[in-house]
Structure 1
Amino acid sequence: MKKEEAAAFKAHKAHFGPISKGLKDYVENHVLLYSRYLFTKSVMRVQYAYCTHCRKQHRPEEPLKHNSKATCPECKSTCVVKKSHVGRKFMKDSVYVVYYEKSIIDPSVITAKGFFVRRDYTGDYKEVTTLYRPSCSYVFEMGGKSTMFCTGYWDEHEWYPRKNIVSEYSFYKNGTPCYTSIDSIKEAVADTPFQYSTWEHYSDGNDMTKFFGLYSKYPCIEFLTKMGYQYFVHAKLEGRRTYDAIKWSGKTVDAVLRLSKKDFKQFKEWKPRITESDETGALTLRLYQLTLKDRNRPPLDELKAIASAVMGIFLGMKPMFKYQNVRACAAYIERQKRKNSRVFGSRANVVSMWKDYMQQCEALGLDLTRNEVVFPHNLYTAHESTTSQVKIKISEIEAQRIAKRVAELEQYRFEMDGYIIRPALSGDEIIKEGKALRHCVGGYAERHAKGETNIFMLRKVADPDQPYFTLELKDGKIKQAYGYQHQQPTGDLKALIETFKKLKVEKRSGQKINKRKEAVAV
């Protein structure tokens, strides 16, 4: 650990005391309530039972059967019966527990600690104790000063800082039950700024660590929850789209929602709540914000309809708003999709081609202040024209980069049913591909060379040198697949690409190391 990290951990650690009685009680009497056993043995045909909870032995009134349940007469615990002579090689009860407490040095700060907890019955069942292995710790302080440290993969005594507050549930949900004490949260937040956080609305099935980390930085969460706009909080916690509708650093409702009091009142009357799953409502709010200065502002019902139509492409549309308002951009996309339905199978295809077209316009030095240039009457025809005008030149360095990338991307080579998918072999091949199929892949040569995207050729095995279809892979997804004049794959070819995606693309992009070795603290 570096000197600065060591100092930060010392300050972080100062907020914690030893394992508390409350944590032990929660583990013993709630989480591991099922981990109570009666081990039986017979001496001279007399059965005795030893309780692992109260550590007392008794003679059952009736013979106890292996794996049945029985009540210990000494401590009244419901226990599982185990014959002591039956093998216990894998008999371990393990859980992951998160427990909250107040800071011992600052009453306005709350803390949480995650423990890997185990009771090991593989040895002498009379000597079993509950073992706690610290896994991570959190300090939540208003003003965005929250911190998190976690232990090493192999050494519980080495602690490392985490840049962001995250839950460790994902490390243990591969088979280890995870628990968080809700009662400990209630006690910890009492008489602190966090008591107003509305955390109760977001405590379903998680350890709340990410929530408190977020609230310590963005207290506007309280506003959003109380006004019924919980969608944005859920989306922020879960990494979903908020469409930039919220100014998270805002101090007032008006500032947070980017609206005047008058506009907020109007929107709130129309949309009293934006619930967890109401993504359309969230985007409608953003479109309402974007149309504030429009002369002929669309009514809210129309904005809702636009939101439903463009939800999947809104991020791609944002550059359009530099040239036209929301209503005009949405209408343009719909017109182009209807005009060339064979070329544009979806609205996303229109946006993708428009972005390519704009890049080519900039390269050609066209006047982008003219509306007929930015939004041509027939986008497909205009794109064909600019594509033919752009001269694509690939430098020697870029050519070398593309050649090197062949080996890197060879792992994705795929052959099935008389077709083969392979990486582009050279810059010249990418250019010729675009010319032969009359689409814009040639413009991707430079980005392919830099590793910003990945271009693959789909060929017939019987005719491997003849361009057929071109694929673009980016961020573990197939972004585009086009044939001659932007023809989209159908039938068997579409099924082939889906199989390629499942067997090659998704399989490789999903290979992540997300497991820790489960060590037990003594």
Structure 2
Amino acid sequence: MKKKAIEKIPYFGLKKTSRKKDVKYIGVTAVEIVGHEKHLFLEVYRNKKESKEIPMVRIVLTKKDFGTYWPEKEEWTRQKIKPDSCYGRVIWGEEHPTWEQEKKENILQSTEDLERIKKFCKANVYNEEHWWEYIYKHEDDIVTTARRNREHKVYMRRQEALADRMAHTKELPEKEILDRADRLYFHNQHYLYYKKHGCWAHIACSKCGGVTDARWKSGISYESQFQRWTEEPREGHYGTCPMCGARGEYKCQGKVKGTHDKYIYLFLGQKYKENGMVMRYVEVGKKWTLGFICGDKGPEMYNASEELSGVEIARAYFEPGKKVQIDYHKHDPYMGKDFWDDCNLYGMANIPISAGLIMSETYEEMKGTIFQYSALQEYAKNVREVNPINYLERYSQTPQIEVLVKMGLTDVVEKLVKCYYGIVADENARRPDQFLGIRKERVKQLIRKKGDTHLLGVMQMEKRQGQNWTDEQVEHLAETDLSGTQVETATRYMTLQKLLNRIEKYAGCKYGTECSSALARIRHTATTYADYLSMRINLGYDLNNTVYQQPQDLEAEHNKMVMETNKEEMDKHLKEVAERYPEIRRVYRGLRNKYLYEDDKYIIRPARSAEEIVMEGRLLHHCVGGNMYLGRHNKGETYILMLRFKAEPDIPYITVEIDAKNPRILQWYGDKDKKPDEKNMQSWLNNWLMKLKTGTLTETIQTAAIA
């Protein structure tokens, strides 16, 4: 659109105003030839005598373009005549009128103007009195067409780039991948399905597919010594197929539902173009099938088979100076075809790329590429599972990862690969101490601990606070998991060593034992002590007083501080929940008989009252004291149980929520929604749940009482 030429065309002017009081704006149209192309002009004037010369707005349309000129500002915009054809107002309007008001307020100078608009725009409008709808639809068609053209161009460029990537991608060695997967990862697993009947066993082999009968127990007849023999089939044991001699795992016919399978995920890296890299993500599965037919006495084994299959799921392309591009293998259910696309699916149906095994050829292919010195091979040896796509993407962003891996700071690299860049102090630094924000002499200690991120956090805290702690103090402080603010607050009134000594004394556990239970106890005690000191300070106590610094009973004093903080509000709340949820107290005895269990270290029991649940949540800083949990317990939908150390039965440790109807643990948490000593406590809870399901909780308690 030639805007300069359009601006030179004089305004058409308003010939006469309207006497109707409702009319506020009058439109005037004309068709002009500008640059050998027809243009429709719409000028909108105020319905005032002094406004007949200069319009409020001039809208210009061509077949494929439009523009809006504002004479007062002398500027062009790309506004459509209405932001929304149904609910928005015309762009020169000042309010949000109804459709009827809008029709009365906006008119055209003559019927010729309407015919001119209809002829030029060629759109269908329900009500001709809404004449601006013709222009809106014409403008909307232009915008929509332009957007579609842009999208089509972008799509075609993407398809050309996709085709180029596919053309430069090497062929996938499918047979080699399948053979290696079967040999190394599935261990050439075969199954021998069996069903015993007397001294005989009916056996089906997944390797050869045959079905036969064989004797596993000696007989007394002469003919029995000439019959086919096999060892006694037992579930989970290995035996030899009497037909093909293959070794396989025995599986009882009654425990097989027809098909069972296993899957693994592999990554194969290949050189791409000159020095790029493509990482290919492949799923390999092995499926074992047992066939049945209807026999005289029910289903009978007919045959058995096994099938090895693989499919490439995704490809990640890495090129110098470019973002990683991941292509996905998709299936079109309407066309019944597989195809490659350059974007993932949306929502819950997206295609995930999880950790997997890296094929050894990958490292050879890396030579001469941008990842020749990425240290991926060294990293993969030191971690349990790895997603090389994520690793290489992070390496492209942060090449310092190579040095960190080779130094043995594996835990630090794991965090970076998962995008936890909060542990980085200076992303542009080359030295590891500057990169991580720690003192230079701490690097060797961090290497000895394989880059433990808890230890790193303490080292960073040390440097921020301008301290110079000993190696032992740093390691012990890492075990407490205290934050920098908590340490800084405590060390205003005591030395760091005194803080560590008191935590060790209150916990009753020594540092450095590498015992998960002791570590959980130390962290719980440290949090409690730091919380206690913070509450003392907030309530105005002088912590220079050693009586306040070193309470004889930490848990009791901590609970006392909790009660003292907002005491009136807490008392009122406890009274309210006691009245609102009385069933919790009433059913306690019955639930205690059902759920109570204790051993030499822990005790678990139901909550005595609604007030106890609220206090549990307050002391452990989690949400169990909320109305949702109280309501469930009160209605008998779920129950809240308290798990504590047997030596300290009144001190909160872990809160458990259990389903009231179907015995299963819904959730369990300790202080601040964390799971202390998670592996050990999960095992203990699983054992307790099994005793609950089998009805042996009471027997265990009675036995312990007798002993």
TM-score, normalization by structure 2: 0.42
C-alpha displacement at 1:339, in angstroms? 6.6
Give the conservation status (yes or no) of the 8 Å contact 2:407–2:447: yes
Once superposed, what is the RMSD of the aligned Cα atoms? 6.2
Q: 1:220 to 1:153 in 2, by over 3 A?
A: farther
Quote the residue 1:59 is aligned against: none
Quote the residue 2:462 is aligned against: 291
Does residue 456 (structure 1) correspond to residue 657 (structure 2)? The answer is no
Q: 1:479 to 1:377 in 2, by over 3 A?
A: same
Quote the residue 1:332 is aligned against: 499
Q: Secondary structure at the match of 2:276?
A: coil
- Out of 550, 559, 562, the residue aligned to residue 378 of structure 1 is 550
- Out of 110, 115, 118, the residue aligned to residue 278 of structure 2 is 110
Q: 1:320 to 1:103 in 2, by over 3 A?
A: same
Q: Distance in 2 between matches of 1:19 and 1:358?
A: 63
Q: Distance in 1 between matches of 2:352 and 2:535?
A: 42
Quote the residue 2:528 is aligned against: 353
> Where is the strand percentage greater, Structure 1 or Structure 2?
2
Q: Distance in 1 between matches of 2:209 and 2:526?
A: 72
TM-score, normalization by structure 1: 0.54
Q: Distance in 1 between matches of 2:243 and 2:564?
A: 83
Q: Distance in 1 between matches of 2:395 and 2:606?
A: 48
Quote the residue 1:180 is aligned against: 358
Q: Distance in 1 between matches of 2:548 and 2:281?
A: 59
Q: 1:12 to 1:449 in 2, by over 3 A?
A: farther
Q: Distance in 1 between matches of 2:526 and 2:560?
A: 17
Q: Secondary structure at the match of 1:357?
A: helix
- Out of 94, 97, 101, the residue aligned to residue 266 of structure 2 is 97
Amino acid at match of 1:291: E
Written as runs of structure 1 = structure 2, the 5 A alignment for 1:94-493 is: 96-103=265-272, 107-117=275-285, 131-140=309-318, 145-146=323-324, 160=345, 167-169=354-356, 180-187=358-365, 189-204=366-381, 206=385, 208-209=387-388, 210-234=390-414, 246-247=424-425, 249-253=427-431, 254-259=433-438, 263-264=439-440, 266-268=441-443, 271=445, 273-274=447-448, 276=450, 279=452, 286-292=457-463, 297-298=468-469, 302=470, 304-314=471-481, 316-323=482-489, 328-335=495-502, 337-338=504-505, 346-357=521-532, 360-361=535-536, 365-367=538-540, 372=544, 376-379=548-551, 380=554, 383=558, 385-390=560-565, 391=567, 392=570, 399=577, 414-416=595-597, 421-422=605-606, 426=610, 428-430=611-613, 443=619, 447-450=623-626, 456-457=641-642, 470=652, 472-473=654-655, 476-479=667-670
Q: 1:227 to 1:150 in 2, by over 3 A?
A: same
C-alpha displacement at 1:201, in angstroms? 0.3
Amino acid at match of 2:468: R
- Alignment deviations for residues 71-129 of structure 1 (CA, whole Å, 9 cap, x no partner): xxxxxxxx99xxxxxxxx8798976433223456x953533222335588989x9xx99
Give the conservation status (yes or no) of the 8 Å contact 1:95–1:116: yes
Q: Distance in 1 between matches of 2:445 and 2:604?
A: 52
Q: 1:373 to 1:385 in 2, by over 3 A?
A: farther
Q: 1:358 to 1:141 in 2, by over 3 A?
A: farther
Amino acid at match of 1:308: E
Amino acid at match of 1:110: V
Q: Distance in 1 between matches of 2:504 and 2:465?
A: 25
- Alignment deviations for residues 167-213 of structure 1 (CA, whole Å, 9 cap, x no partner): 254xxxxxxxxx532213431x3333222211120233746424324
C-alpha displacement at 1:18, in angstroms? 9.6
Quote the residue 1:60 is aligned against: none
Q: 1:338 to 1:243 in 2, by over 3 A?
A: farther
Give the conservation status (yes or no) of the 8 Å contact 1:243–1:286: no
Q: 1:382 to 1:150 in 2, by over 3 A?
A: farther
Quote the residue 2:171 is aligned against: 21
In structure 1, runs of 5+ residues without a counterpart are 42-63, 70-78, 81-88, 170-178, 435-439, 460-466, 481-494, 508-522
- Alignment deviations for residues 456-492 of structure 1 (CA, whole Å, 9 cap, x no partner): 3479xxxxxxx96755338955526xxxxxxxxxxxx
Give the conservation status (yes or no) of the 8 Å contact 1:317–1:351: no
Give the conservation status (yes or no) of the 8 Å contact 1:16–1:111: no
C-alpha displacement at 1:221, in angstroms? 0.6
C-alpha displacement at 1:136, in angstroms? 4.2
Amino acid at match of 1:305: E
In structure 2, runs of 5+ residues without a counterpart are 1-147, 190-205, 211-240, 249-257, 292-302, 510-517, 585-590, 631-638, 657-665, 672-679, 693-707
Give the length in aligned residue pairs.
399
Q: 1:425 to 1:333 in 2, by over 3 A?
A: same
Higher relative contact order structure (alpha carbons within 8 Å, sequence separation ≥ 6): 1
Q: Secondary structure at the match of 2:544?
A: helix
- Alignment deviations for residues 346-371 of structure 1 (CA, whole Å, 9 cap, x no partner): 43343232344256447xx4359x65
Q: Distance in 1 between matches of 2:465 and 2:284?
A: 57
Q: Secondary structure at the match of 1:306?
A: helix
Give the conservation status (yes or no) of the 8 Å contact 1:230–1:275: no
Q: Secondary structure at the match of 1:113?
A: strand
Q: Secondary structure at the match of 1:98?
A: strand
Q: 1:283 to 1:449 in 2, by over 3 A?
A: closer
- Alignment deviations for residues 283-331 of structure 1 (CA, whole Å, 9 cap, x no partner): 5555444333767723xxx2x21233233322x3433233255993452
Q: Secondary structure at the match of 1:115?
A: strand
Q: Distance in 2 between matches of 1:452 and 1:255?
A: 48
Q: Distance in 1 between matches of 2:682 and 2:330?
A: 41
Amino acid at match of 1:212: L
Amino acid at match of 2:485: P
